[in-house]
Chains A and B, each alone.
Chain A
């Protein structure tokens, strides 16, 4: 029974992949929309990471784009230096991006995760600004990073297949983590930090673990992003981008994997879709329409679209004999 379910899941994942790939080959999904689709899934991976940090562990972070940027710049630097079109370079880039983001998360997490809610938000925001300024001036240190002119000539290694399967792996690993004893320790910190300590949870340790894993997700997503557009600019990693990701997880419902996935995809397509749908004259109103939508969604569903609920596939199952 258990194996049958696993097979069914693998089957579903492959069928969805083949259908999408087929549509891409037939150019029913043209290269432009393919890029948007990839971008949506990449943002979803990054947002899943932030959902682990804020939605599950309850640590308010406004510096997520900085970790996304660290992954992007490091992986781009690696593939530009190696100068090879092999997809293995992308794999290396993602791994090192994840490690760098995780390491930096560990180092800054140690002092700042002691702070609570809004104060932690301000501290992470500050960290994000520091990283952005570092990217702006990175060419002084390493000329190929491009600084405020942007980094060019990154090999386009990101394909739909890479993005799709990394996304699937990210979802499965996060689900496995959340529905486990470690995951419950993380959630207990969100629910009541004092009570968690009182029942023997080392809250400092688990906050740090949650933060590191969440930021590594951003690092992987950043690496995919860098090799999708082959161009990086510091403006893509400023604090407004952190707020975008925060918006996605709050809209989707904190602590809901399904919500994050759906909202990340819907949000990316909405922004691009409005460009197509709206007549030329009011195109600039795009950026007014989407905040309005945010307000409406929050009024109708204050706990987010999914409100902490999950699709059946992602729901935690009680493992019994």
Chain B
């Protein structure tokens, strides 16, 4: 590839959305979970994905991260087709996520939760590992060092030796987000990060999300039920119902959209 072509591609990369989803459809048997879902995410955006229970929001997450294979449709990340890739490949390309019901490695320490996420940066093979060579010790030292520094960014450094399931709920959430950011992804998917949090914790979480977005130059797609979070930090909101997008736009626009109100509250029939 010539210098010029490289330059051209770079320019194209800038104008092209980070994530482009086209006509994404997923059936579970006869059940249509997601249908004709189109979404573009631009570099640096913070987008909220909302909708009533069972609308298909988490299914969209599972499709993007490769945990489900779409029935039809395409997902492009940085211009590359990622549909059908294994989840760990997609994670390594730069899309990571958190889960609705926190999924840490419960019996392991806080440090190990983070060190596992560093694993695909390690080089040591079985030989070095089994025989504890100098290379292995060196790499292990570096890994531990990096993981501890990373925990410090999230204010978890004093907790490193704690078993992760023993952490308070808010810290478990923070650890899960930290773990998802270890590999420095470009796109972060947060599945109901504020679920089960009290108002104080929610405020902290909103600050955290805004902060990691700048610190890691992230693009964030977020599922959330608490309108305060969605309205407070999202720049754009996509509303789903029955697997389809029914509205999208700025938070305040979407809030007053009759279709959205109908989806959440049911149809208003005026007597007379």
A197 & B86 in contact (Cβ 8 Å cutoff): yes
Q: Does B14 contact A (CB under 8 A)?
A: no
A199: which of B91, B107, B108, B131 is its contact (CB, 8 Å)? B91
Q: Does B119 contact A (CB under 8 A)?
A: yes
B67: which of A188, A194, A201 is its contact (CB, 8 Å)? A194
* B residues near A194, Cβ cutoff 8 Å: 67, 87, 99, 103
Q: Does A81 contact B (CB under 8 A)?
A: no
Q: Does B212 contact A (CB under 8 A)?
A: no
Q: Given A197-B88, A200-B88, does the pair A191, B107 have CB atoms closer than 8 Å?
A: yes
Q: Does B171 contact A (CB under 8 A)?
A: no
B179 & A319 in contact (Cβ 8 Å cutoff): no
| Alpha-carbon distance between A191 and B104 when the two chains are bound, in angstroms | 8
* Among B88, B124, B131, residue most surrounded by chain A Cβ atoms (within 10 Å): B88
Q: Given A176-B129, A176-B132, A184-B119, does the pair A198, B96 have CB atoms closer than 8 Å?
A: yes
* B residues near A192, Cβ cutoff 8 Å: 103-106
Q: Which applies to chain B's interface (DSSP): helix, strand, loop or mixed?
A: helix
- The 0/1 profile, CB within 8 Å of B marked 1, for residues 198-215 of chain A is 111111100001000000
B141 & A200 in contact (Cβ 8 Å cutoff): no
Q: How far is the CB of B138 from chain A (nearest CB, A)?
A: 9
A202 & B86 in contact (Cβ 8 Å cutoff): yes
B182: which of A184, A199, A319 is its contact (CB, 8 Å)? A199
- The 0/1 profile, CB within 8 Å of A marked 1, for residues 147-191 of chain B is 000000000000000000000000000000001101100000000
A180 & B140 in contact (Cβ 8 Å cutoff): yes
Give the interface size bracket for B toward A.
35 or more
Q: Does B126 contact A (CB under 8 A)?
A: yes
> Which residues of chain B in 94-142 are interfacial with respect to chain A, using CB atoms and an 8 Å cutoff?
96-97, 99, 103-108, 112, 115-120, 122, 124, 126, 129-132, 136-137, 139-141
> Which residues of chain A in 52-69 are interfacial with respect to chain B, using CB atoms and an 8 Å cutoff?
none
A319: which of B87, B92, B141 is its contact (CB, 8 Å)? B141
Q: Does B144 contact A (CB under 8 A)?
A: yes
Q: Does A308 contact B (CB under 8 A)?
A: yes
Q: How far is the CB of A245 from chain B (nearest CB, A)?
A: 22
B136 & A200 in contact (Cβ 8 Å cutoff): no
* B residues near A191, Cβ cutoff 8 Å: 105-108
> Which residues of chain A in 172-186 are interfacial with respect to chain B, using CB atoms and an 8 Å cutoff?
173, 176-177, 180-185
Q: Given A176-B130, A181-B122, A200-B119, does the pair A195, B141 have CB atoms closer than 8 Å?
A: no
* A residues near B140, Cβ cutoff 8 Å: 180-181, 319
Q: How far is the CB of B269 from chain A (nearest CB, A)?
A: 43
A180 & B136 in contact (Cβ 8 Å cutoff): yes
* A residues near B137, Cβ cutoff 8 Å: 319
Chain B: CB-nearest residue to A197:
B87
* A residues near B144, Cβ cutoff 8 Å: 318-320
| Alpha-carbon distance between A192 and B104 when the two chains are bound, in angstroms | 8
A181 & B130 in contact (Cβ 8 Å cutoff): no
A200 & B183 in contact (Cβ 8 Å cutoff): yes
Q: Given A184-B115, A318-B144, A319-B137, does the pair A201, B130 have CB atoms closer than 8 Å?
A: no
A184 & B88 in contact (Cβ 8 Å cutoff): no
Q: Which applies to chain A's interface (DSSP): helix, strand, loop or mixed?
A: helix
A181 & B86 in contact (Cβ 8 Å cutoff): no
B105 & A185 in contact (Cβ 8 Å cutoff): no
* A residues near B145, Cβ cutoff 8 Å: 320-321
Q: How far is the CB of B162 from chain A (nearest CB, A)?
A: 14
A321 & B141 in contact (Cβ 8 Å cutoff): yes
* B residues near A44, Cβ cutoff 8 Å: none
* B residues near A188, Cβ cutoff 8 Å: 105, 108, 116
* B residues near A181, Cβ cutoff 8 Å: 115, 118-119, 122, 124, 129, 139-140, 143
Q: Does A145 contact B (CB under 8 A)?
A: no
* B residues near A196, Cβ cutoff 8 Å: 105, 116
Q: How far is the CB of A73 from chain B (nearest CB, A)?
A: 26
Chain B: CB-nearest residue to A318:
B144
Q: Does B65 contact A (CB under 8 A)?
A: yes
* Among A187, A192, A200, A203, residue most surrounded by chain B Cβ atoms (within 10 Å): A200
* Among B87, B131, B139, B145, residue most surrounded by chain A Cβ atoms (within 10 Å): B87
| Alpha-carbon distance between A307 and B71 when the two chains are bound, in angstroms | 44
Which residues in B have some Cβ–Cβ distance to A below 8 Å?
65, 67, 86-88, 91-92, 96-97, 99, 103-108, 112, 115-120, 122, 124, 126, 129-132, 136-137, 139-141, 143-145, 179-180, 182-183
Pairs A–B under 8 Å by Cβ, sample size 17? A176-B132, A181-B119, A181-B124, A182-B124, A182-B129, A184-B115, A185-B119, A187-B108, A187-B112, A191-B106, A195-B104, A196-B116, A197-B67, A197-B87, A199-B116, A199-B180, A201-B119
Q: Identify 15 new A-B residue pairs, CB closer than 8 A, beyond the known A177-B126, A182-B129, A198-B91.
A: A176-B130, A176-B131, A181-B119, A184-B115, A187-B108, A191-B106, A192-B104, A192-B105, A195-B103, A195-B104, A197-B67, A199-B91, A199-B117, A321-B141, A321-B145
8 nearest A-B pairs in the assembled complex, by CB-CB distance: A191-B105, A197-B87, A195-B103, A200-B91, A199-B117, A180-B129, A200-B120, A181-B122
